[in-house]
Structure 1
């Protein structure tokens, strides 16, 4: 028995790479220039040089949503305090061309190696580039890439304002915004990326510039949903908006019994197609957990940009009998902290996204019921393998024509959202597990789930026009674009933006990064 346990632990332990030689050289240079901002791996050869602040390294390495990323150990962690620090780091990384690196804001991206590095240089922004400052114009806010949305809202709500940002408070600003950023405020003001007026950017050659509608407008467009392939953003200037009724909003979570799911499916179809009030928003989640999928429950996160919802704002979603109801008038920062604000570390997780058309209630109910049965069967199957306790979730997030229209009104973005294409859903699929033995197999299980649901759609519903559809290739626009913030590393995110937008992004990347510096980090590739 002891031998078996020892073997199991050995197989589960992360395989740590020796530090990359070029990465060590970069770390040495950064430490000589900025000793207070550079920390060596406490278990490495140079640990003695920075033993006095090794807790910064330890904390940033462990604080990832997906614990698989926490298994990676960078040669050093660099905590820049301004754009010039980042520029110097980029210049040094250019000198040592084989040094891998990673950029970390909140560490919320599920994909292994996207914001972590094993043996490379980790540039972490939360520690020193996370401030939120209201500008003298009173209408905009400068936000650091390492800020978390809950902290941002605590600043903006002091003047009864809000910025378009994450729905859960612990999510970091940079990755969320560069990937698009779906918000409770998106039906009013578009995606988070649509509300960035200016990006302060360190370019791949180490120079600092600003990208906005008049200065480097091509780069400004590319950063609005195109990810971090074009430069390192060191400051976001965000548009401010009025917050609720005198700073008060309404929202919370309702938990339902499983037998209410068909009512939810049907009401969700009507809500997305009719969307009578842009101030209303929901996040429907369907969770399956514990051995044998013993827990299988729907839950809805509700939001209204006011102290009390207008009549029929949720098209019946608020009239379904709930098992538990926490909705109330509250502050936006309090609402963003519900369910822990996504402050969860030490678990292992995978995600992928599917895009589907919103359809009339019978068809949408059929598709979402296929999600329900597939997830329930998968969790039961995983339990029978004695893997461990797992939680599977699918989250159909409404992408209504209201959001596409609001996005276009603010200049548009790389995703190519067009209200003429009709209403869609971004369905986030998640799997959480504890046993590291499943670190390779569990993401593949989730991929199988997503692929099988796609197959059901293609076999039974493909060609169905989205509600409010006017024009576009139905077979393409119904299942695109994918949502970068929720996508798996194997998904073709840039292809989903359409051939024209992908080609434009490739051209911009070549212009600003001819040596593909930004592709030395993890992420989606052209």
Structure 2
């Protein structure tokens, strides 16, 4: 395992060598003072110089911390500081000092602690937030509800599902891999629970947000998109939405395998592997990650590619958030530029005819790799999107839909680019209403009788649910051709996909009222369970469960097979021996949760 940065072993944390913010010249002298006082190797925090530099800064004399800490800070030239952060600093210094017999630093005053129980999750989170305030620049990179009010609430509401609108003790918004490294070291040092968010599209509660007992690492400031001079690769930060990546590649005559919905985040989709358009030609989205930059649980920054840390490179292609925080993806681009696309809205009377057309399309798509397709049926309407990776208007592969009456266009037939179709979807989707949402994932071989019987069961279920509470459900068939699977397998990932044509079924439910949470979850479980039961009876059920569409009590990584699960566990242990991502991460499809 090769680390990109060396680290200094510090008394409180490990921080990448040579990185000090704030009064750097004075800090060096202050380190000498600390060295002689308590024998630690240095200090990892920057300091405040004036009350104007940091929001919430106070004159040090007003802070309720021991005299010795005030004296040490004043020796560093610090005249003002955030008092909450100073209190946590005092407590941390005391903890370190208590381990050295020659140290006589007094402990922090009792009323300087936000909690008397140091094992309390909220106390740990407060401590992590306070230390982060010293480390992260600008100060707004650490958002707390008490200080940032509306901005904090807006950051909470980024998540697609209202079920994920939780209230973390603070929201940390790092702008570099180094800052993510500091955060992970703070988390490990304080034992604080955490969640990671890219775009927040996963609807499972606790996956991309966390409550008051933890901190949220929001990667939205890790938003660089850098196209190589020959456009063969593009470096993408996890805080990007896919539409921005497509926009940056506009005019290069190349694109990437990414999200079909423009507002989906880069990080979550790629770590779950992702179904892109153009999969029949190239494979799945994760297969085109040339390199990852990853911050491990101990704060070490590493790269993973085919030559360096190749086991980690393999594991991240569908292994989720079990190994580290990816701070940069280097994506291989694909030679796709001019394309044709169209999206239609059909009425509910056409549902059964559409199901027959879907099955006919799947057969036709096995012979035409340029075709891509999306299908989502609800009680009120069905949306079907057609995409073709060449400038050919309504190609024959979609002819089975040509004569089915539709209500209107969702997106007009167009010749364009991957960016223009993303922009078109962004325009028609607009600001989508906020709902609580849940989802399910099941994979099967293609079969019309399965679709028809599954639809009948879904229709009965959805009508029953709509009669009990205000909700909407979808019935989604996602065709994945044998070509897509074979090309994905050839590039290597842990998914263990069967090399044949298949469909990845998903059903989404959305609702508002909290009191129906359990009923809504049971509805999607019943919908997926019906498809699974029918497919099993017909002998066409596949083991694979698509991580990006799985609900919270599924175990998609277990569907990768015993051998690959064993490898993933070994890799997780190798790169995260302290199990930071298993024990401190709030929730997710984590290896330690698997049966």
**TM-score range, shorter-chain basis?**
0.7 to 0.9
Report whether the alignment pairs 1:287 with 2:378: yes
The worse-fitting range, judged by mean Cα deviation, of 395-404 and 56-65 is 56-65
Task: Give per-residue Cα distances to partners, 1:424-458, cap 9 Å, x unaligned.
Answer: 11011100112222223211222122213322333
Out of 372, 396, 401, the residue aligned to residue 455 of structure 2 is 372
Report whether the alignment pairs 1:344 with 2:436: no
Report whether the alignment pairs 1:146 with 2:243: no
* Conservation of the 8 A alpha-carbon contact between 1:189 and 1:407: yes
Report the CA distance shift for 1:224/1:318 in structure 2 as closer, same or farther (over 3 A). farther
Residue of structure 2 in register with 1:218 after alignment: 311
Residue of structure 1 in register with 2:589 after alignment: 524
User: C-alpha displacement at 1:418, in angstroms?
Assistant: 4.1
* Conservation of the 8 A alpha-carbon contact between 1:105 and 1:172: yes
Residue of structure 1 in register with 2:106 after alignment: none
Structure with the larger RCO, 1 or 2 (CA within 8 Å, 6+ apart): 1
Out of 391, 398, 403, the residue aligned to residue 472 of structure 2 is 391
Report whether the alignment pairs 1:440 with 2:534: no
Q: Measure, in 2, the Cα distance between the counterparts of 1:189 and 1:36.
A: 43
Out of 111, 132, 139, the residue aligned to residue 36 of structure 1 is 139
**TM-score normalized with structure 2 length:** 0.74
Task: Give per-residue Cα distances to partners, 1:485-504, cap 9 Å, x unaligned.
Answer: 00011112112111111111
Report whether the alignment pairs 1:257 with 2:343: no
User: C-alpha displacement at 1:278, in angstroms?
Assistant: 1.3
Task: Give per-residue Cα distances to partners, 1:246-265, cap 9 Å, x unaligned.
Answer: xxx21121122334333332
Q: Measure, in 2, the Cα distance between the counterparts of 1:396 and 1:431.
A: 15
Residue of structure 2 in register with 1:68 after alignment: 163
* Conservation of the 8 A alpha-carbon contact between 2:393 and 2:415: no
* Conservation of the 8 A alpha-carbon contact between 1:110 and 1:350: yes
Q: Measure, in 1, the Cα distance between the counterparts of 2:357 and 2:482.
A: 17
Out of 197, 200, 212, the residue aligned to residue 104 of structure 1 is 197
* Conservation of the 8 A alpha-carbon contact between 1:79 and 1:124: yes
Out of 237, 257, 260, the residue aligned to residue 167 of structure 1 is 260
What SS does the aligned partner of 1:266 have? helix
What SS does the aligned partner of 2:401 have? coil
What SS does the aligned partner of 2:434 have? coil
User: C-alpha displacement at 1:239, in angstroms?
Assistant: 0.8
Out of 178, 198, 208, the residue aligned to residue 84 of structure 1 is 178
Task: Give per-residue Cα distances to partners, 1:275-295, cap 9 Å, x unaligned.
Answer: 22211110111112xxxxxx2
* Conservation of the 8 A alpha-carbon contact between 1:134 and 1:156: yes
Q: Measure, in 2, the Cα distance between the counterparts of 1:394 and 1:524.
A: 24
Report whether the alignment pairs 1:452 with 2:554: no
Q: Measure, in 2, the Cα distance between the counterparts of 1:426 and 1:505.
A: 23
Out of 300, 304, 312, the residue aligned to residue 384 of structure 2 is 300
Q: Measure, in 2, the Cα distance between the counterparts of 1:401 and 1:206.
A: 40
Out of 313, 319, 327, the residue aligned to residue 234 of structure 1 is 327
Task: Give per-residue Cα distances to partners, 1:293-346, cap 9 Å, x unaligned.
Answer: xx2x33211111122247422352344333323332233223224165585352
What SS does the aligned partner of 2:398 have? coil
User: C-alpha displacement at 1:518, in angstroms?
Assistant: 0.8
Q: Measure, in 2, the Cα distance between the counterparts of 1:344 and 1:121.
A: 27
Task: Give per-residue Cα distances to partners, 1:17-72, cap 9 Å, x unaligned.
Answer: x9621111111000112252433432xxxx3xxx3x554422220111110111x1
Task: Give per-residue Cα distances to partners, 1:371-419, cap 9 Å, x unaligned.
Answer: 322222222212332x22x11001110111111122134x221112242
Q: How is 1:94-133 mapped onto 2 (pairs within 5 angstroms)?
A: 94-97=188-191, 99-119=192-212, 120-126=214-220, 128-133=221-226
What SS does the aligned partner of 1:20 have? helix
Residue of structure 2 in register with 1:512 after alignment: 575
Out of 276, 279, 282, the residue aligned to residue 189 of structure 1 is 282
Report whether the alignment pairs 1:480 with 2:543: yes
* Conservation of the 8 A alpha-carbon contact between 1:63 and 1:345: no
Report whether the alignment pairs 1:412 with 2:492: yes
User: C-alpha displacement at 1:114, in angstroms?
Assistant: 0.2
Report the CA distance shift for 1:315/1:222 in structure 2 as closer, same or farther (over 3 A). farther
Report whether the alignment pairs 1:314 with 2:398: yes
What SS does the aligned partner of 2:181 have? helix
Task: Give per-residue Cα distances to partners, 1:91-141, cap 9 Å, x unaligned.
Answer: 1111012x1101001010010000010021111011x11121102343100
In the alignment, structure 2 segments of 5+ residues that lack a partner are: 1-119
Residue of structure 2 in register with 1:329 after alignment: 415
Report the CA distance shift for 1:19/1:204 in structure 2 as closer, same or farther (over 3 A). closer
Report the CA distance shift for 1:457/1:405 in structure 2 as closer, same or farther (over 3 A). closer
Residue of structure 2 in register with 1:467 after alignment: none
Report whether the alignment pairs 1:382 with 2:476: no
Number of residue pairs aligned between Structure 1 and Structure 2: 463
Q: Measure, in 2, the Cα distance between the counterparts of 1:142 and 1:384.
A: 48
User: C-alpha displacement at 1:163, in angstroms?
Assistant: 0.6
What SS does the aligned partner of 2:250 have? helix
Let me know the Cα RMSD of the aligned residues: 1.9
* Conservation of the 8 A alpha-carbon contact between 1:19 and 1:74: no
Report the CA distance shift for 1:154/1:196 in structure 2 as closer, same or farther (over 3 A). same
Q: Measure, in 2, the Cα distance between the counterparts of 1:20 and 1:199.
A: 33
Q: Measure, in 2, the Cα distance between the counterparts of 1:20 and 1:195.
A: 40
* Conservation of the 8 A alpha-carbon contact between 1:267 and 1:315: no
